[in-house]
């Protein structure tokens, strides 16, 4: 059974950093492109970052230079390092596997940026 | 990059059909056959309903169908059921990135 489990969210102050993790199981993790997608409270889905199977990455303009996506295929885990956090980064962050659309999603982890 | 344009809400009675449009540009919807649609119930993670414009994952009822013409993709729900009431998002590949629509709330009257 495919599972994606996010962790690392919580309350952080503006300007601080946090690293989110997404632990994958039930599939050949190293072969898949992975994404982070976020959803601010009461708002829509917004794409954040992707990492290809070969490790190449891309980020949305709104987070480029502050967020970094990475993967550890030995640990079947994808990460999102989030630096210089702002109030507008407050959201539930989902990781998702890219195959036949975003076919599997985690349950999400809430990041709240507030003083 | 701006979000794809979706109507904020659509509604229909049980058994009726509703169609949700998703308008982008030639750099996203019009440029690739990689449009997908997601259903999201309150407090839940999104679920893929359509991928690659017209393909339906195993387990998704055939009441859900997708299409595309030019820069506009569409999701049609035929034979609307109470459990179809949810938010729906389109999503397109945009050349090494994804772009989502703003979301459409489907209400079953």
Whole-angstrom distance, CA of residue B5 vs CA of residue A104: 24
Per-residue pLDDT of chain B (109 residues; tens, 9 = 90+): 689 999 999 999 999 999 999 999 999 999 999 999 999 999 999 999 999 999 999 999 999 999 999 999 999 999 999 999 999 999 999 999 999 999 999 999 9
At residue A24, the pLDDT reads: 98
Which among B87, B97, B103 is the nearest to A47, CB-wise? Answer: B97
State whether A102 and B55 contact (CB < 8 Å).
no
Which among A46, A58, A102 is the nearest to B36, CB-wise? Answer: A102
* Distant-in-sequence, close-in-space partners of B79: CB < 8 Å, separation ≥ 6: B15, B16, B17, B63
Kindly indicate the confidence band of residue A21, based on its pLDDT and cuts at 50, 70 and 90: very high
At residue A52, the pLDDT reads: 97
Span A17-27, average pLDDT: 98
At residue B2, the pLDDT reads: 82
Contact present, A99 and A48 (Cβ < 8 Å): no
Tokens of B6: 């979706």
Give CA angle at B56 (A106, B6), nearest 5°.
Answer: 75
What mean pLDDT, rounded, does chain A reach?
97
**B-chain residues near A53 (CB < 8 A):** none
User: CB contacts < 8 Å between A and B, how many?
Assistant: 61
Whole-angstrom distance, CA of residue A43 vs CA of residue A17: 23
Strand, coil or helix: B106? strand
- Tens of pLDDT, residue by residue over A38-92, are 999 999 999 999 999 999 999 999 999 999 999 999 999 999 999 999 999 999 9
């Amino acid at each position: 059974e495919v599972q994606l489990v996010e962790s690392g969210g919580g309350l952080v102050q503006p300007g601080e950093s946090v690293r989110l993790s997404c632990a994958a199981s039930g599939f050949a993790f190293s072969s898949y492109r992975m994404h982070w997608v976020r959803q601010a409270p009461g708002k829509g889905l917004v794409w954040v970052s992707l990492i290809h199977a070969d490790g190449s990455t891309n980020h949305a303009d709104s987070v480029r230079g502050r967020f970094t996506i990475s993967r550890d295929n030995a640990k079947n885990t994808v990460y999102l390092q989030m630096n210089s956090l702002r109030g507008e980064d407050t959201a539930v962050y989902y990781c998702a596997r890219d195959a036949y659309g975003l076919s599997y999603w985690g349950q999400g982890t809430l990041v709240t940026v507030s003083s | 990059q701006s979000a794809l344009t979706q109507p904020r809400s659509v509604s229909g009675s049980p058994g009726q059909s509703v169609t949700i449009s998703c308008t982008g540009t030639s750099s996203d919807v019009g440029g690739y056959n990689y449009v997908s649609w997601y259903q999201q119930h309150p407090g839940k993670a999104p679920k893929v309903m359509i991928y690659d414009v017209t393909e339906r994952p195993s387990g998704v009822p055939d009441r859900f169908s997708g299409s595309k013409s030019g820069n506009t993709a569409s999701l049609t729900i035929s034979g609307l059921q109470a459990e179809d009431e949810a938010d729906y998002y389109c999503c397109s590949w945009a050349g090494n990135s994804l772009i989502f629509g703003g979301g459409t709330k489907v209400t079953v009257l």
